[in-house]
Amino acid sequence: MNVTPTALAGVLILEPRVHEDDRGWFCESFNQRVFEAAIGGGVTFVQDNHSFSRRHVLRGLHHQVARPQGKLVRVVRGAVFDVAADIRPASPTYGRWVGVELSAENRRQLWVPPGLAHGFLVLSDGADFLYKTTESYDPTSERCIVWNDPTLAIDWPLARPPIVSAKDAAGGLLEPAAGSR
How far apart (Å, rounded) are the C-alpha atoms in residues 139 and 122? 24
Q: Which residues are catalytic?
A: 62, 131
How far apart (Å, rounded) are the C-alpha atoms in residues 110 and 83? 9
Sign of CA dihedral 158, 3, 113, 134: positive
